[in-house]
Amino acid sequence: MQITAIITVTIAHIFALFLGIFFIFTNLRPSTSFPEEVEKGNLKFYRSYGALWRDRLLAWHVIDNESTISAVRKEIITAWELIEAPSQIAGGITLLLYASGFLLLLVLSKGTIIGDKQNAPLLSPLLFVLWLGSVVGNGMGYILGFWRTRQESRRKVTYADLRQRRISDYRSNLFRWLLGLIVFLNVSLFLLLPSLFGSQPSTFAWASAIIMFIIFIMAESFMPRIVTMPRLIVTPDPRVAQHADDLLRALVIAELHWKLIIGMASLLYIQWLFFFGWLQSSPLFIAIQVAATLLLLLCLFLSGMRTSDKGHLGGRITGWSWHKLAF
C-alpha cells in the first residue's frame, strides 16, 4: 500500500514538474495567432473557448449586437492573453519549485514523508512556496500583464480615464471581513490559545497559520492595486472599451480571489488532516476550527461555483452570482 502511494505521488509531482515547465515556455511569448485560431474555430477547443468569450461579452453587455462580436472578441482575447501570460509564468515557476522540492524530499526521506505525520514539518517550506508563490506570483503577474496590455493599447488610441474605481465595484467588502475573520480565528487557534492552555501544536501547525495570514494580506493588497491601474483600451469604440476594461478587471480580481479561497481551503484541510488529534484535546479548539471551516464554505457559496458566475463577487457593478448586474 505504501509503495503504491509513493508511486502515485511521484508520478503526480513529475507531471506537475513538466506542467510548470510547459506554463513557463508557452507563455514567454504569447501566441499572436491564438485569437485568430479561435475565430476560425477549426478545433472543438477553439470553438468552446470562443463561445465562452461570446457569452461573457453578451452577458456583461460589452456588446449588444452579435454582428460585431467577432472583431471585439478577437481584441478582448488578445488583451486577455497579454494580461494572463506573466501570471501563467509565475504559476509555472511555483509548480516547478514545489514539485522539485517535494521530489527531493521524497528521495532524501526514502519515501517516508508520505503518510508519516512525524515528517509533516518538512512540508512547511513547500506549502510556503506553493501558496505564497500562487498568490503573490499571480498578483504580480497580473499587475505586469495589465501594464503590458496598457502599453500595447496606448500605441493604438487613448481616452481619458474619468471614472474613479474602487474594489467594492468588483468585489463585495463582505469577503474581506469574512476571510479576515477566518484568518483571525486560525491565528488565534494555533498561535495564541495554545500558550494559554499549555497545549502546543507542532511547528507545522503554526507555520500553516502564518502562511494563511501572509497570503490573505498579499491578496487583499494586490486586488485594490489591480482596480486602480490605468484604464485598458482594447478597442477604438469608447463605450465598448470601457465595458471591456471592466470585464477584464473583474475577471482578474476573480482569479486572485479564487487563488486566495483555494489556498485557505487547502490549509484548513491540511490542519484537519494532520492536527485532528490535537484539536480534539479541547472542545474550544474544535469549535474554532469548525467555525472557520463553515465561514470558508459560506465564502465559496457566495463566490459562485459555475464558470458563468466568474467575476460576480457582489461588486457594485458586477452583482452576485444569483443577481448578476451588467455595466
Q: pLDDT tier at 153 (50, 70, 90 boundaries)? A: low
What is the amino acid identity at position 52?
Answer: L
Q: Which domain holds residue 99?
A: 2-324
41 sits in the region (left: phi over 0; alpha: psi -120 to 50; else beta) called left
What total number of domains does the chain contain? 1
SS3 324: strand
Residue 94 burial (10 A CB sphere; 0-12, 13-18, 19+):
buried
pLDDT tops 80 at residue 83: yes
Share of residues in the chain with pLDDT > 70 (%): 87
Report the distance separating Cα 272 and Cα 96, nearest Å: 27
Q: At 313, list the grid cell.
A: 463577487
Higher pLDDT, 292 or 270: 292
Could you identify the residue written with the cell 509548480?
95
H and E: helices and strands count for the chain: 11, 2
Residue 301 burial (10 A CB sphere; 0-12, 13-18, 19+):
exposed
Average pLDDT over residues 198-223: 86
Q: pLDDT tier at 206 (50, 70, 90 boundaries)? A: confident
pLDDT tops 60 at residue 159: no
pLDDT tops 90 at residue 175: yes
pLDDT tops 90 at residue 172: yes
Higher pLDDT, 176 or 32: 176
Bridge partners (DSSP) of residue 314 are: 171
pLDDT score recorded for residue 299: 94
Distances, alpha carbon 17 to alpha carbons 3, 21, 62, 114, 260, in Å: 21, 7, 38, 18, 22
Q: Which residues contact 116 (CB under 8 A, 6 or more apart)?
A: none
pLDDT tops 80 at residue 198: no
